[in-house]
Structure 1
Amino acid sequence: MSDVAVLASTAGAIVAVVVLIVRCHVNPVISLVLGSLALGLMNRLGFGRTVETITKGFGDIMAEVGLLIAFGVLMGSMLKEMGAIERLVDRLLRVFGPGRLPYSMSLTIGTLLQSIYLDVLLVISAPLARSAARQIGPLGTPRMAASMAIGLECGIVLMVPGVGTLALAALLDVPLGTMLLWGLLLVVPTIVISVAIMTFLFRHGFWDVAGDEIAEPVPAEQVREELRTPVGVGVAGGGAPGVPARGGAELPAGPRGGAAGPRLSACFAPLVVALLLIAGGAVAQAANRENAVVSFFSDPVVALLIGLIGTLVVTRLSLGRSGVDRAVANGFKESGQILILTAVGGSLAAVVAAGGLGDILRHYFEADRFLPLLTVWLVAAVLHVAVGSVTISAITAAGILAPVAPALGVDPVLIALAAGSGSLFCVHVTSNTFWLLQSLLGQTTRGALKTTTFAVSVASVVALLLLLPISALF
């Protein structure tokens, strides 16, 4: 096929996927599979090879990241069951005080708490943020809302073990330790700078209390009932366009049975150990200090399994067998669509690669390494505006342009971070995160457009601007 035909067929398949999701309200999983089938046939792979490529791409990603997502979600579910998040936010408030809480909470959500399903994390932490906002002062609501939105969305696609980050690493064949280190290097300054920019704007007239806040937020019990009835597409980082999706999360009131729960350090120690093992493996590899033992324990599957077992032990000791059973059941329920969506993103990437798009795009980018990163960011941003899901747009953008990375000599981790950064742009009314932040934090729709849509878009641009100089280190 000619270059024009390959480019046109790829663009047509992506547009068709967007139309199916946006206009026809077809589940993203089904839409991506149909788009992959159409692309394979248009690129003349043939019926047999198209199906084979789709299934192989699906299986390869599941083998790469399936256990990691499952382990991360299960750890998050157990932390939720123990009421650890509520106590962590309370501890942050006491240690850092109201003035610094937006920074500390956003950083904690964007780094340490990414094993927790987004909707669950938001519903747990939003009432606590609303309470803290009263102590901050007149600008407490916008500062807390913006900091939560920035931390939640950045963590999904820039920080291990965020589900989008795991998917990007798998699609682009990036070692998870490498993704963790470079993602941490990018996400921390992105969050700090973005929260600082929004704080400056709020203090200089960007927030109107009369028009941007409502007297009282929607009661938590009402939100809990809404979340129990899924509407549209409940995927991490975005919902079905035009309908505020609900992810099926429950709003816990702390550890079951009214107990105080285990020490906060004990709750999070297994997760921290797992992340340190993964990061340690990446450092050892860079320093040429690897050996069989280090490689084994720093393998992401082994490291997260150790974290999961440790979290399970802590949960069992504090809540008993019934608490563990509840957490595991909820974790499996939450991880199902995440796993399938990630895997079909791998199917699309495999078909795109088989069609030869990488060889075509190589000729356009071979003179400049910055241009591919800008292109990945832009593709992910456009897809997110159209589809309304951070995760779907990041996975799709990475799948489209992953074949370009090896030919250009651009490190795949840069492509992954660029796709993640672009997918943050313009979180708007098609996202369940938007509506949950609007209702739980007592904002009008106009207020949520400022604290969520604008604030996360600022983070998206900041991440890109930080990524370009980082790319010079490779």
Structure 2
Amino acid sequence: MAIAAVVIAILILVVLITGVKLNPFLAFLVSSICAAVMLGIPLDKIPGTIEAGIGAMLGSLAIILCLGAMFGKLVAESGAAQQISSSLMRWCGKNYITWALMLTGFIVGIPLFYNVGFVLLVPLVFSVMHQTKLPAVYLGIALLAPLSVTHGFLPPHPSPVALIPQFGADMGTTLFYGFLVAIPTMILAGPIFSSTLKSIHSVPLATFKPTDLPAEKLPGIANSFITALLPVLLIALSSIAVYAMPAPIAQAPITKFISNSMLVLMVALAIATYTLGVKQGMSISKVMAIYGDAIKDIAVILLIVAGAGALKQVMVVSGVSDQLAHSLENIDINPLILAWLIATVIRIALGSATVAGLTAAGIVAPIIPLTGADPNLMVLAIGAGSLMCSHVNDSGFWMYKEYFNLSLKDTFKSWSLMETIIGVAGLIGVLVLDMFI
């Protein structure tokens, strides 16, 4: 009965989001209440359970997500993203243009949330198309593949950041493993796969013709690259430093304080405020306005994360998570593959990669200590599954279709297949790492 209640709750979530078109946060609340009633949680305890789940989830994530959004927004508004992309184009030339676009998507995609990165970088594709006369889809897939990869695999994006504390994973280690999986995955789904799409004809809408900042107003090349990569560099350096230190020093309160991801991101944002803001002639009030807009951009994401926390807490309090974990314990399947499959099913049903990742995490988290699966690889396995089989219930599917002015058939042939390649290649990369860890 308990497992059936979980299935029914997820079906309710699917119907509310895809059929009724309810806001995902409201859908999570309704499905959480339904699940709590079916699982026998006392009625007077249900509101407190939901509040506790929302608070526990946002307590560890809100700061990192907000700081990451501010950082990414500044990279975009300052012109650093434009400088990075134009520099890579000059260095790589026309023969390696898709590789330049892939690197642009990867570097800029690390600090930028997916929707922001999409809107910012897709006009660049159309600019390159007009300059080189190459097909838009051929260029676009090379750029969008790394954006999806960073969204699914790398902090500070919402799903990996949310999964890390749930699984007891380490931010630096997950980031390192994420890079090992992300690089071959984006090469396969980007330049290699895009080379098969040259026959797809696309005439992008004039609405999306890019408007670039003049070159003299852009930040310098070194400033743009170093600042955009600063969060990754600082997180990596802090993790390496902790591992390299003697145990007494690594465990010292001051060491834990300065290596905390929140503090590292605050330092990166402070530096970027100067290098991409004040140094470029922006007033502090202008920079703060950019940060305020960034918070508005991710408000919906924060609410979705909060709603997922409510459903997870219902499962924990009712004890169904433990029951589910013990029932899955006897299934003869690699737990990484199981996590990937669960995320894939939810992704196909709901469309949202973030919702798929967070929902799958609440289901599989209890099996990690029982199976001995590496929590860092679990984060990546769910990230890969959450990107699978994008279709008509995914907002990214429609953004791509409309921006590139494609038919449904060509959207499936290019976008949906690209996302599926990322999901499968990501899982293969995780399983290969699992053989050596």
In structure 2, give the amino acid aligned to 1:178: T
- Name the CA distance, whole Å, in 2 between partners of 1:318 and 1:448: 40
Aligned twin of 2:166: 171
Count matched residues. 431
Alignment deviations for residues 336-362 of structure 1 (CA, whole Å, 9 cap, x no partner): 112221122122222222333343344
User: Once the 2 structures are TM-superposed, how far is the Cα of residue 470 of structure 1 from its aligned partner?
Assistant: 1.4
User: Is residue 102–residue 191 contact of structure 2 (8 Å, CA) maintained in 1?
Assistant: no
Cα RMSD (Å): 2.5
Task: Pick one of 249, 256, 272 that aligns with 1:311.
Answer: 272
Amino acid paired to 1:273: L
- Using the alignment, how far apart are the partners of 1:48 and 1:330 within structure 2? 38
Q: Does structure 1 conserve the Cα–Cα contact (< 8 Å) formed by 2:113 and 2:151? A: no
CA contact (8 A) 2:204 2:403 kept: yes
The correspondence for 1:61, drawn from 52, 57, 68, is 57
Q: Which amino acid aligns with 2:138?
A: R
Choose 298-307 or 164-173, whichever is displaced more: 164-173
**Where in structure 1 are there 5+ consecutive unaligned residues?**
224-250
Cα distance in 1 between the residues matched to 2:159 and 2:29: 18
Distance 1:269 1:170 in 2: 28
The question of 1:371 aligning with 2:328 is answered no
**How many Å apart are 1:49 and its aligned residue?**
3.1
- The 5 A counterparts of 1:282-293 are 282-287=239-244, 289=246, 290=250, 291-293=252-254
Does the CA-based 8 Å contact 1:40-1:351 persist in structure 2? yes
Aligned to 1:151: 146
2:164/2:379 contact within 8 Å kept: yes
1:456 and 2:419 equivalent?
yes
Alignment correspondent of 1:472: 435
Instruction: Give yes or no for contact 1:145–1:451 (8 Å, CA) kept in 2.
Output: no
Secondary structure of 1:402 counterpart: helix
Indicate which of 110, 115, 118 corresponds to 1:119. Answer: 115
**8 Å contact kept, 1:271–1:304:** no
Listed one character per residue, the Cα deviations across residues 109-147 of structure 1 (whole Å, up to 9, x for unaligned) are: 235533223222212211211232456665x42322222
Tell me the secondary structure at the aligned position of residue 217 of structure 2.
Answer: coil
Partner of 1:38: 34
Could you report, residue by residue, the CA deviation over 1:8-36 in whole angstroms, capped at 9, with x for unpaired residues?
00000000000000110100001111111
Checking the alignment, whether the CA contact within 8 Å between 1:9 and 1:42 is kept in structure 2 is: yes
For 1:275, give the aligned amino acid.
V
Higher helix content, 1 or 2: 2
* Matched ranges for 1:3-18 at <5 A: 5-18=1-14
Alpha-carbon spacing, 1:409–1:355, altered in 2? closer, same or farther (3 Å): farther
Q: Which amino acid aligns with 1:213?
A: H
Measure the CA separation in 2 of the matches of 1:141 and 1:306: 38
Verify the 8 A CA contact 1:275 1:303 in the aligned structure 2: no
Q: Report the residue type matching 1:219 in the other structure.
A: A
Is 2:147 the partner of 1:188? no
| Structure 1 partner of 2:257 | 296
Equivalent residue number for residue 201 of structure 1: 196
Q: Which runs of 5+ in 2 are unaligned?
A: none
1:44-443 mapped onto 2 (5 Å cutoff):
44-133=40-129, 138=134, 140-199=135-194, 201-202=196-197, 208=199, 212-214=200-202, 216-220=203-207, 253-254=212-213, 260-287=217-244, 289=246, 290=250, 291-314=252-275, 315-321=277-283, 322-366=285-329, 371-443=334-406
The letter of the residue matching 1:317 is K
Contact 1:28 1:341 in 2 (8 A): yes
Question: Which amino acid in 2 is paired with 1:179?
Answer: T
- How far is 1:400 from its partner? 1.6
Distance in 1 (alpha carbons) for counterparts of 2:349 and 2:54: 24
1:472–1:162 Cα change, 3 Å = same
The change in CA–CA distance for 1:7 and 1:271 in structure 2 (over 3 A counts) is same
Distance 1:86 1:270 in 2: 13
Q: Distance in 2 between matches of 1:182 and 1:449?
A: 30
The alpha carbon displacement at 1:445 in A equals: 3.2
